[in-house]
Amino acid sequence: MAASTRTPNPTLPSGGRVRSLVNGDVKWVDISDPTESDVAALGRDYRFHPLDLEDCLSGRQLTKVEDHGEHFFIMLHFPVEDDQGMISSYQLSMFLGRNYLVSLHPAGCKTVSDLFQSATQDEQKRGELMRSSTYLGYKIIDELVESIFSILDDVQASLDTIEASVFDENKSSADAINRARRKIAVLGRLIFPLRLHLPEIAKAQKDSEEDLSIYFSDINHKVGKASTTVESMREMVEIYKDTDFIINSERTNTVLSILTILFTLTIPATVISSIFGMNVPLPGGWNFGVTGPLDYFGPYTSLMFIFIAMLIPALIMALYFRRVGWF
C-alpha cells in the first residue's frame, strides 16, 4: 500500500536511537540500529511495504532503488574503515517521500548521525539541509560518497608505501600487497552497485519544486571517479604482486644456484674421500702394515696429494661455471 503524500504523525518509540527533526513541512526521522519494533511502527504510521521494512533489518540485501509511486525506497551499501585499517560495509536504508525522509542505519554510521546532529544544533544548517526532502536525501548520499574518498586516500598511501619497498630485494612485500588487494576488492564490490543504481535516484526529484538534476549528476560523477580510481588501484596492486613474485623468485633461484654450485664443487672431495675410506690397498694409504703412507715431502705427503686431488677438479669446474656465466 502506498504512503500518503502528507507527513504522517508517527508514534515511533522515543530514545537516542530514534530521532526526528522538522523544518517547515519537511520531516526527517533518523533511526540507528533499527529493531523490529521500530520498523513495525514505521509500517503502522507510514504504511511502508512489509518486504521493504524486512529488508531494513537485514544486512545482506542488495543495493536497490525502488519507486513506489508516492515514495522511494533506497537501500545502499557504503565502505567504512576501522582503526586497524580494515574495510567493511554498512547498510543505509531510506524512505523518501514528498515531504519526509526516514533513514535507517547502524549506529557506527557516524556520517549520517553527525549530519543529523549538526542540523539539530544549527538552525541555519537545518534550513539549508532540509529545504526539501529530496535535497536532504541528496545531501545524505553526497556526504557518504565523499567519505569514500578518504578511504581511497588511505589505500593509495598504502600502495605508495608498497611501491617504495617492492623493489627492495632484501624485503618481501607479500603481506602488504595481500592486505591492499583485500581492501581494493571490498571497495570494488561496494562501489560498482552504487555506480549502477545511483542514477535512478535522480527520479526522486519529481516531488521537488527545485531542479536537482545537477546535484544528482555530481554524485554520479563522484561515484564514477571513485570506481575509476579503484580500477586503477587494482591494476597497480597486480603489478606490484607480479613484481614481488618475480623478485622473490629470482632471489630463490640465486640461493638455489649458489647451493647447487657449492654442492657440485664438493663432489670430487666426496668421491676421493669415499675411495680412501675403503678397506682395500691404495697408494699412499695404510694397507694393513704392508706399505706405509707416502713421505716424499714429509709425514703429511699423502694428505697433501689427497687435497690436491680434491682441489684440481673443483677448480676446473669453478672456472667452467664462471666461463658459461652460471655465477
Across the chain, the runs of DSSP E, i.e. the strands, are 18-23, 26-32, 64-67, 71-81, 87-97, 100-105
Statement: the pTM of the whole predicted model exceeds 0.95: no
The CATH-assigned architecture of domain 18-248 is: 2-Layer Sandwich (3.30)
User: In 3D, which of 37, 47, 33, 36 has the Cα closest to residue 12?
Assistant: 37
Residue 281: all three cell numbers together: 690397498
In this structure, what are the phi and psi dihedrals at residue 63, rounded to the nearest 5 degrees? -65, 135
Are the beta carbons of 112 and 30 closer than 8 angstroms?
A: yes
204 vs 96: CA distance, rounded Å? 8
> Domain segments of the chain: what residues?
18-248, 266-323
Sign (positive or negative) of CA dihedral 67, 73, 74, 75: negative
Tens-digit pLDDT string for the chain (327 aa): 334 344 454 444 444 488 999 998 999 999 999 989 998 999 898 889 999 998 888 867 688 899 988 899 999 999 998 888 888 888 999 999 989 999 999 988 888 999 999 999 988 999 999 999 999 999 999 999 999 999 999 999 999 998 888 877 777 788 889 999 999 999 999 999 998 888 888 888 777 788 888 999 999 999 999 999 999 999 999 998 888 888 888 778 877 877 787 787 777 777 777 766 655 455 555 544 445 555 666 666 666 777 777 788 878 877 877 777 766
